[in-house]
Amino acid sequence: MKSRTVKKGFTLLEVMVASVIGAFIALVSVGALRAVTAGREMVNTNIAAADELRYAVELIRSDLANVYRDGSANAMKFVGAFADTDENMMTSLTMRIVSIANARRSEPEGDVHEVQYYLAEDEGKSVLMRRLYPVVGTEAEEELPGGVLTAIAENIAGFELRYFDGEEWVPEWPAEQNRLPQMVEIVLATVEEKQGRQDSLVARKILAAFPRLPRQTQDTATSGQGAADSGGRTAEAGQGTGSSGRSGGGSSGGVSTRGS
């Protein structure tokens, strides 16, 4: 008699079980891959936001360190105000600085510029804007050109300023002050996304101090009259002006930055 050869194979049940296990493994792998990809994108987004925040802080700190200072109060400008928008009150900071970098390339400009920082809405995002334009002579504010507008940081959750007048911290510094505050504090904050957890705020703080000039006068006529009345005192102020002048912006005092 011939022996019968039995060929072994998978039963239908075994095939179905193997298919289910394979599909489950594939599903888990795809889910893990998506989670890793989403985590990487979130990390990259947070890194980009942190870099933008750091860049904005360094730029503002540099401008504060180069604030234009002069013996004449009318020649300087440092204004912190609130802009009334449809949704809320937006903070803005406008000041004159000394900078050798032109606002427009290949255009003849002086080294005194007016710079403004404020928040603006762009496609649902809160963006920190910087407007830079050169100051020519004693032109009125409404005669100043529009300047160059640059978005320096996106997704800014907070832009807050405080000014120290020598006695207390105040939220505004109007143009009527005609002088620099003794100190200014600026806080910039952005949102850091966290996977599976509540988002958190990342804030950076700038604290700048402005040492007093020997004397601030309202205009040159007043300065001239003071020279006739007080003699050497006005001459001393004029000497201090000459040393601070256009290059004196760098001597605005210590400017420190720290995270909060």
The sheet carrying 89-98 orders its strands as: 78-84, 89-98, 112-122, 125-134, 148-153
For position 244, what pLDDT does the model report? 38
Nearest to 114 by CA among 84, 162, 78, 82: 78
Confidence label for 48 from pLDDT (cuts 50, 70 and 90): confident
Widest CA span of the chain, in angstroms?
A: 140
User: On the CB side of 246, how many CA atoms lie within 13 Å of its CA?
Assistant: 7
d(CA 82, CA 67): 21
Q: Is 142 helix (H, G, I), strand (E, B) or coil?
A: helix
d(CA 91, CA 74): 23
Tell whether 12 is covered by a domain.
no
For 253, the domain range is: 44-259
Q: List, for residues 97-143, the tens digit of each pLDDT value.
A: 998 777 677 666 778 889 999 998 887 788 999 998 887 665 555 54
Indicate the pTM of the whole model.
0.65
Q: List, for residues 195-246, the tens digit of each pLDDT value.
A: 667 677 888 999 999 887 555 444 434 444 443 343 433 333 333 333 333 3
> Would you state the structure tokens that stand for residue 122, as one six-digit string?
């762009």
Tell whether 249 is covered by a domain.
yes
Tell whether 15 is covered by a domain.
no
Averaged over 17-31, what is the pLDDT?
A: 91
User: 25 or 145, which is more confident?
Assistant: 25
Domain count within the chain: 1
Q: List, for residues 176-195, the tens digit of each pLDDT value.
A: 888 899 999 999 998 877 76
Looking at the chain, the whole-number percentage of residues with pLDDT higher than 70 is 66
Phi first, then psi: give them for residue 160, nearest 5 degrees: -120, 145
Residue 14 in this model has a pLDDT that exceeds 80: yes
Confidence label for 50 from pLDDT (cuts 50, 70 and 90): confident
User: 157 or 192, which is more confident?
Assistant: 157
